[in-house]
Structure 1
Amino acid sequence: MTAFANIMYTVEDGVAVLTLNRPETLNSFTVAMHEEVRVAMNDARTNPEVRCLLITGAGRGFCAGQDLNDRTVQSDAGPLDLGESVEKYYNPFVRSIMTLDKPVLCAVNGVAAGAGASIALACDIVLAARSAKFVQVFCKIGLIPDSGGTWNLPRALGLPRAKGLALLGDKLPAEQAENWGMIWRCVDDDALMSETMELARYLATQPTRGLAETKRLLNESFSTPMHQQMENEKYAMRRLGQSHDYREGVAAFLDKRPPVFRGD
């Protein structure tokens, strides 16, 4: 496994764990960190041993977004092309999460701010520590919620709440995020990793192809007409009906035994 300086990455029991590991900066992103994340995400995509991915942060924060010290930003300097940074680094990371053909869990262990909040919302299932907070800080520095933030936030919360958070930059506590339906579950701080790992290990034993198709169709449903969505469901069912795991699931049901899914 590649040695990393800014992240940790492990694979065990079918679960890949990607830990953002710059705790002294609340795991804010630098170019070097982006490059390491890209390597880890490529392994999660191509490694047949990986059937579920868990993303979390080291220390007291999940991710504070961009490390501004990694950019030269001066009020009297020339224009800075932030779009290049988004295009080259943040967008590929978010796309790799949302298109990964395996479930992606997120354990938000502390503050998720800026792009950190957007990255968390790009994951399929989000659990957050009770002390965690989500903050759309972009408005405080004259920017917009990037990294898919303007797409995922209103879909998770509805437009009125999304606008309130994005325009005001208020901190959203994890418990309220759960009550609003933005995340799957808020748990006690000391139980976050154990509960998330338990869920990840469970998903790693399930029919991975079926979960991947479900994820894809749900993500596409917001921009697909109903008749086309039903056609897409038909094609997915046709493919999955020929899979090993479908046959195994039916056989296990008829035999009254637990299924043993292979992920194919």
Structure 2
Amino acid sequence: MEMTAHEEKDVVLVRREPGYVVITLNRPDKLNAFTVPLHRELKAAFDSAAADPDCRAIALTGAGRGFCAGQDLKERKLEPGKAPDLGLSLETYYNPLIMAIRSAPKPVLAAVNGVAAGAGANLALACDIVIAARSARFIQSFSRIGLVPDAGGSFTLPRLIGEARARALAILAEPVSAGQALDWGMIWDVVDDDVLLSTVETMAADLAQRPTQSFALMKQAFNASAGNDLAAQLRLEAELQRQAGQTEDYMIGVEAFKAGTKPQFKGR
């Protein structure tokens, strides 16, 4: 049986700052491993931030010494002679969460502190911009327990680092340091541990002053590019650019450029 929501609470913390929201996984004693309550609170937090017009960027991090260790295996109650339906768990919780991150109409930043393993690693890699502490490690740990990558890992990893590295990481389940992840193009940047969150929040605050609608349209373009041929992608670019050109922020940006001043974007 899965945990019920009343057995855990406050497993996700939400802090609202001017222009952006910080979402923190809050099971530090369990390296923020996923449980049903955490899934429910995290999805709700993302949905709320995505729909909030005052939130123009989202930062995701983990409390304590780890980002997220993946699924909490102690939550899995295996019964002799009865195989669990792990696909149902993905369809109910993981897949909607990853889609919420990828489709959020504003940039999502991951501040990866410590270990990001299994679905926790792929949760981070689903974000738009990933910044890791120097102590961070990314582990595709699925094969250690006889599973396959999930939470979008089999989609995201080959596109970030190439198929050869993605296959090897999945099969070998060896940790990748933050520095190696940066060298491979898996993440955007690496910073010292003590400035990780402040670095990400500074970026989130800066993005909150930029043209939010253009970010939403960019995400649509990148999300579609994996399945489009060039002609289809060019058609999509034309349509998205049509929409971008009709935003108030485009007018503000052009007028500021002409005047040689800093644009004061409104996010619409």
Q: Same fold (TM over 0.5)?
A: yes
Count of matched residue positions in the alignment of Structure 1 and Structure 2: 260
Per-residue deviation, residues 97-144 of structure 1 (Å, max 9, x unmatched): 000010000000110000001101100000000000000000001100
Q: 1:30 and 2:22 equivalent?
A: no
| Equivalent position SS for 1:170 | coil
Paired position in structure 1 for 2:68? 63
Q: 1:91 aligns with which of 88, 92, 95?
A: 95
Task: Give the whole-Å Cα distance in 2 for the aligned partners of 1:239 and 1:60.
Answer: 43
User: Aligned-residue CA RMSD in angstroms?
Assistant: 0.9
Task: Give the whole-Å Cα distance in 1 for the aligned partners of 2:121 and 2:220.
Answer: 21
Q: 1:73 aligns with which of 78, 83, 103?
A: 78
Task: Give the whole-Å Cα distance in 2 for the aligned partners of 1:219 and 1:130.
Answer: 29
Per-residue deviation, residues 225-251 of structure 1 (Å, max 9, x unmatched): 101101101111111111100000000
Consecutive unaligned residues of structure 2, counting only runs of 5 or more, are 1-8
Paired position in structure 2 for 1:225? 229
Consecutive unaligned residues of structure 1, counting only runs of 5 or more, are none
Paired position in structure 2 for 1:12? 17
- 1:45 is aligned with what amino acid? A
User: Once superposed, which parts of structure 1, at least 4 consecutive aligned residues long, lie more than 2 Å away?
Assistant: none
Per-residue deviation, residues 128-180 of structure 1 (Å, max 9, x unmatched): 00000000000001100001010001111100000110000000000000001
Q: 1:191 and 2:195 equivalent?
A: yes
Per-residue deviation, residues 55-75 of structure 1 (Å, max 9, x unmatched): 10000000001111111025x
| Equivalent position SS for 1:41 | helix
| Equivalent position SS for 2:226 | helix
Paired position in structure 2 for 1:122? 126
Q: 1:54 and 2:59 equivalent?
A: yes
Q: 1:82 and 2:113 equivalent?
A: no
| Equivalent position SS for 2:232 | helix
Tell me the CA shift for residue 223 of structure 1: 1.2
Tell me the CA shift for residue 219 of structure 1: 2.1
Tell me the CA shift for residue 200 of structure 1: 0.7
Paired position in structure 1 for 2:4? none
What TM-score do the two structures reach when normalised by structure 1? 0.97
- 2:40 is aligned with what amino acid? E
Q: 1:21 and 2:14 equivalent?
A: no
Task: Give the whole-Å Cα distance in 2 for the aligned partners of 1:83 and 1:187.
Answer: 36
What TM-score do the two structures reach when normalised by structure 2? 0.95
Q: 2:163 aligns with which of 137, 142, 159?
A: 159
